Structure 1
């Protein structure tokens, strides 16, 4: 007779096996009849690893039924644990396989973990997408405005047909970059036209010139075609610029004239100040004359002139004053 502890152990193991069989038998049977070949114990371990075994089994069955049987179950589990969408990833691989697009599990998993919708990318690669340029939801205006060499403005609406470039989807520029590049190319192509009539005559010339620039380089999309949906004639930008330039020249000339007038007024005021300064110097010089005459009297430099002036009045001078005698003496006496 078996020991009691061994009987209990067998009962516990049996209960666990029955529970596993009860919970995972339908999934195992689904995989068995479809060729997925995922073991019953492996499904139990998925639950222990916090992986949904139902999703893994469903993806594995879809892949095998679609003829893609080289995807390991461990890779699906790792993608699920990393936060990827294994179901959409499997659907994308099936769609790519049906469309003849070369896409392996590693590339698709990297695209999915990068935050891109890999299934939508495959669908756009199969069914190209039409982008309006400019995008009315992003841009403030609904036309691309370019100016030809003759100064006439052209307003253009463009439809860009793109498909996904799966090889550049990781790290490639997004749709916004494609729209910006196409808009830049359209404006540049219009600017290279000699007259606006050239663009109106052959709008496809603009499309061909833009396509030749390879604007889809390093982007997640490949440009299939660029079509001019609408083209309108705008204002005469060249004439407006010439008018603005003429007005600016007038303002510059007026400013220069005002500068010369202000300099003339300032020079006139300087001359007036200089005149007043010179008059003040004259007054100062005239004020020094009496002092100089007095100094000349004291130094004896004006004796001859005084004699001539004082001779008629000699009788009024006392002869006894030696100073008067000195003044009355003739020069050389």
Structure 2
């Protein structure tokens, strides 16, 4: 029984020692003291209760102190609890200080919390970055398409990293400038002869305004001749005009056919009325005989006149025997 109790006490003692060294990182506190960083055991214990890893804060503070930066544990804890990357901020501050770039702790933490890599921004500020644009197609005044690729050298603008536009905006603005510059050229040969003219025009437009970068130079890496857009547009226009003309001709033909059908219908209607009127003639003659208004001699005279008229018509028709003999 005493052995079991002894083992239990030893176990509790080990657990107690582990908890003591967990909540009170004596080794870290000693390291900080020898590094010239003033931090108390109470502050280290408080970090544990606030769920802040003391090693991150103390090691970052040691690094900053060795680099000559004056920071406190409270400032680093506040940034950590806000979701910031404390070691990255310390590296950025040290790099900016060594490169004589003006960067305050508050400014660096704001950049970090804005979602930008503040250390990378400082590196780009020291070593400018080259951004290659995608292929930009534009058409000169003579209708020839040109495809250009540009390389934009940029440097991070520390003061605009919070709220400033990123690389996509730079690329979009440079592409727009290239299109405008090529479009204003009289011929595509002017662009091919002086590609640096595009760079000068685009660079003079201040495309980096409101962005997180400062454009140092714009270099045209390549210019290729594309398709003849002007000729293609003229061909398409001619094809469209031909289709319009064909449609109008078909419309006129349809109207002519409709008019012809209408005239035929009118002629048939008139012929029907004539036939109807001719059908009334015998009836009228019979009525005249019955009423005594038409005599036999009158009928013979009328028949003779009709026969004489038919004979004259047959003689006057071309191709008849009498006409041919004449």
Q: TM-score range by the shorter chain?
A: 0.7 to 0.9
Alignment map for 1:286-325 (pairs within 5 Å) = 306=292, 309=295
Post-superposition shift, 1:283? 4.8
Post-superposition shift, 1:197? 2.0
Q: Secondary structure at the match of 1:67?
A: coil
Q: Secondary structure at the match of 1:176?
A: helix
Match 2:146 to one of 147, 151, 154: 154
Q: Secondary structure at the match of 1:157?
A: strand
Distance 1:201 1:273, change over 3 A: same
Residue 252 of structure 1 corresponds to 244
For 2:109 and 2:159, how far apart are their aligned partners in 1? 13
For 2:297 and 2:197, how far apart are their aligned partners in 1? 119
Per the normalisation by structure 2, the TM-score is: 0.77
- Post-superposition Cα deviations, 1:24-81, rounded to whole Å, max 9, x if no partner, equal 2222222223332121110111011000011000111111222220x33222112212
Q: Secondary structure at the match of 1:50?
A: coil
Match 1:210 to one of 190, 202, 205: 202
Per the normalisation by structure 1, the TM-score is: 0.75
Q: Secondary structure at the match of 1:88?
A: helix
**Aligned residues of 1:124 and 1:164 also touching (Cα < 8 A):** yes
Residue 259 of structure 2 corresponds to 267
Residue 120 of structure 1 corresponds to 120
1:186 aligns with 2:178: yes
For 1:250 and 1:310, how far apart are their aligned partners in 2? 72
Residue 195 of structure 1 corresponds to 187
Distance 1:308 1:257, change over 3 A: closer
Residue 28 of structure 1 corresponds to 29
Distance 1:223 1:306, change over 3 A: same
For 2:175 and 2:185, how far apart are their aligned partners in 1? 16
Q: Secondary structure at the match of 2:292?
A: helix
Residue 58 of structure 1 corresponds to 59
Distance 1:22 1:53, change over 3 A: closer
Q: Which runs of 5+ in 2 are unaligned?
A: 1-15, 299-326
Matched residue pairs, number? 283
**Aligned residues of 1:79 and 1:109 also touching (Cα < 8 A):** yes
For 1:308 and 1:150, how far apart are their aligned partners in 2? 93
Post-superposition shift, 1:160? 0.7
**Aligned residues of 2:289 and 2:295 also touching (Cα < 8 A):** no
Q: Which runs of 5+ in 1 are unaligned?
A: 1-14, 135-142, 313-333
